[in-house]
Structure 1
């Protein structure tokens, strides 16, 4: 069996695992230019919901959709997630709508104010956005005042930007806020503001109080707002929470993937490290795709980079480094690219702020993997586990038609004996010393066939060799 085929067989499990990304890519919703994208926002406002909404926004803008409609039914949730969602909506360049189908309570009310237009179902409500503890209890007084002060300012700015009355947004959060339009007191202080559909759409001084109108359904909203194209509804995959943890553990996944890829080549005959490495990289790209960070392009460039490195190893070893260098660059660039939070309207060259998290994650993974690999290269060949695999690779099971090996204890081989590698040492193989061909193993380096070698150590039947140093 050729050494090239053996190397390909080693890397095949990792490539097979990475190929698992294809069904995910093909499962993406098809959005055409001019369509209206419906993004459901249901249940608790959470980090997973933010990841789903961010992915939907990027898909819609990339496809040049005509509008985004947030279909909302939530009693609220985490304020930090609501802040991230409103930040994503405030940067959208296409028209945004919220259709309140029943409830836009607490954090949901803040998110609705981050869209340009609000429509409400006949029986629905919006408001009551006071911050509370996760248990439902009120915040301590000082913390409550700080939180209300900060988010009131944020909501006022957001409401003004999107054409809504900023006093309404503040009254959603602060029960001490009075809302007055002209001479009419819309809401007296002393309680949090909550509006039903009829109140929110009431015309005051020639314009609606908050909602553009009442709609029976998304289809009715599309007709009243004269939205173009087909209505394309995105659906959460159910893996958004999984994606949240994947992005949080990105450095660990990269570390494990790099180390296992190293072990796949280091340990002769082993395939499990390659499978684990492939799974790690699949989880990495899949998680970042579901989180709305990476598209399928990043995974394609990663596979292309691995392919170029394989071409370098299989066909151009010791003759050129172009394929290997380009492949390594594509691998690192794809990993880096997958972690950049870039929106379609932003410049192709990312800003410094966008690069901080990817640089930190990749630096941690690379530095940690270098340390782990250095330790493995030093100590792994000394372990019985490694020797067992090396022996299995040098002496495969099954019938042999070659001449039987002769174990000569008095063979004239000692440290310093020079010879020639008969086969490629990866790291085990065969070496010729005079008229003897014996099983040898390196300390981890790969040595091509016909390369001069020298015995550095003999441990029982184990002959450790290194490349002969050429002096000039």
Structure 2
């Protein structure tokens, strides 16, 4: 009887669970929508994050991916990678510009199938600039304009507006972009020129417009690893990490034991490679090459010739270049690190080494001079004034005997025969100067 009751309870429970599941599936129509944020500055870490989000949506057969964009722009190469990944997916892609899609953000939005904008949001101002804030070179400009045109044409948008966003010479005065100014479109202007499919109040409003309000919504969030990767792959942080790493390792190599400087140096390089690994820019082979370089540098202290040190330096620099997605940027970062390291070394030796106890421990300040008590040979000042006999002729160097001690000496420049009485007149370390005893008497007679 108890067994029948148990089976009955399990049957009722299973029946109710199936009803709940079927209702939930019916409410979502079996559709899944992924919402992927693209906010703050677009970095290499952003590219890896977006790529992983799209791959997850593809694996789960999502009905659509909505990119919630609010960015002032960022790295062009990262934006190109994001745009390429969006173009490759077969899932419907929608941009929801929540506030700003400026510069790289506008390019990303143009690569999606549809664009919707919040009231008062903006898209445009996509001029490409270098790290110093100046307009990029002619080749880079040409490439970027071609990319902007292609992104607009791919989704049936008039490319003239995309070109005006990236080129000051394309004049569109009607939309506040005379010659010499980049185009930035408001939500209403974007709708007018076909760069927006509609203006919405929020995501819920957008879901209704897309007839996806019954779909299951999955909001993709950046993990802690993604945030670290975004931070450490920033073009402003990379030079700092490399500089800190070089200085830390340099100080540690020339100081006894293992201390804070070594910990800072290793941590800086670990952060650098970790961020680039997470971002998909580096593989484990780059870390292996870097470790080989460090080992070779350490071997240089035990193997003479300098070959190990040179090979180690080449291996380290090569690993940094392999881990970078931008060779020019990495080259600049390494030059900055080398310059700062040299300057810091000079400051440590010339200034801090005299004032701070920490640097006194790693900087050799002792000098092997006579004033400090260091001599290469004993100074025989005790021989001055003593007389002896030459055992050999002095030409002008030779040997004399003083008491029972044989001593190598030199004359004052004249020739002195063997078995002649001499007197020590000067002692400078190992240089003992003698003079023939009767030479002064001979000078007086003359």
Shorter-chain TM-score: what band?
0.3 to 0.5
Give TM-score scaled by structure 2 length: 0.46
Q: Which has the higher contact order (CA 8 A, sep 6+)?
A: 1
The structure whose residues are more often helix, as a share, is 2
